[in-house]
Amino acid sequence: MARYTGAVCRICRREGQKLFLKGQKCYTEKCTFNKRSYAPGQHGQSRKKMSEYGIQLREKQKARKTYGILESQFEKYFDMAVSKKDGITGENLLQILESRLDSVAYRAGFGTSRPEARQLVRHGHFTVNGKKVDIPSYLVKAGDVIAITEKSAESVKIKSVLEITDGRTTPAWLDVNKDALTATVVRLANRDEIDLDIQEHLIVEYYSK
């Protein structure tokens, strides 16, 4: 599957805010955004007044890049959010994005960033309900148990990740057992539990045109 392979710091600069795509580096003085918070490119520092469409587009792009999703897949998630009988479309969309396996692994502290969690999922370090799953886009359900495999738990990489994320607050919709290296999905996330600066109503407006 195609994926973005460029400099991720440019993504944050383009969106005008930190998306925390580089894990711990984003919290240090080495973060590129701290030095150059303006958009990349020759005209990055020039001020441009965006149209209503431009504002909606940037909000959609911000959400898509935060979760590391390609355009076609993001559109599928939006269609899923629209087709849900209950809830508000924008909130449904964010709930679906949060229920991706790579995002759940990140929220559980099994990855320092979403890109790293996605890579660890691809490399087969996790199981869902006892079965190995290496598909980052796998959507978890309430009651699912995500676990680090016994073999992976002994790897230097996983131990390093767990040490870095030790002490990170986990959301109430996840029950994380640090000793057993498991995370149980108590329920799907509510909007007020998704700590992202995303105005989802602008995304709905974008796709409603």
**Mean pLDDT, residues 30-45 taken together:** 58
Concatenate the DSSP letters of all residues of 12-75 into one string: HHHHTS----SGGGGGSTT-HHHH--SPSSTTTTS--PPPHHHHHHHHHHHHHHHTT--HHHHH
The CATH architecture one would assign to domain 50-99+196-209 is Orthogonal Bundle (1.10)
CATH architecture for residues 101-188: Roll (3.10)
Q: Give the span between the Cα atoms of 165 and 106, in whole angstroms.
A: 9
Q: Are 78 and 88 in contact (CB under 8 A)?
A: no
> Tokens 């105005």, residue?
199
Q: Do domains 50-99+196-209 and 101-188 have the same CATH topology?
A: no
pLDDT at residue number 85: 78
| CATH topology classification for 1-49 | Ribosomal Protein S4 Delta 41; Chain A, domain 1 (1.10.1050)
Structure tokens that stand for 2 in this block: 């195609």
Residue 40 confidence (pLDDT):
63
150 pLDDT more than 50: yes
Domain coordinates in residue numbering, the chain: 1-49, 50-99+196-209, 101-188
Average model confidence (pLDDT) across the chain: 87
* Token duo for residue 74: 């993001």
Compute the distance between CA of residue 28 and CA of residue 60 in angstroms, rounded to an integer.
Answer: 27
Mean pLDDT of all residues in 173-184: 97
Q: Determine the Cα–Cα distance for residues 96 and 109; give it in Å rounded to an integer.
A: 19
How far apart, in whole angstroms, are the C-alpha atoms of residue 39 and residue 13? 5
For the cut 70, the answer to whether the pLDDT of residue 123 exceeds it is: yes
Distance of alpha carbon 161 from alpha carbon 111, whole angstroms: 6
Cα–Cα distance, 154 to 150 (Å, whole number): 7
- Residue 27: predicted pLDDT: 54
Query: What is the pLDDT confidence band of residue 1, given thresholds at 50, 70 and 90?
Result: very low
Token pair 């040490």: residue: 163
Cβ atoms of 169 and 109 closer than 8 Å = no
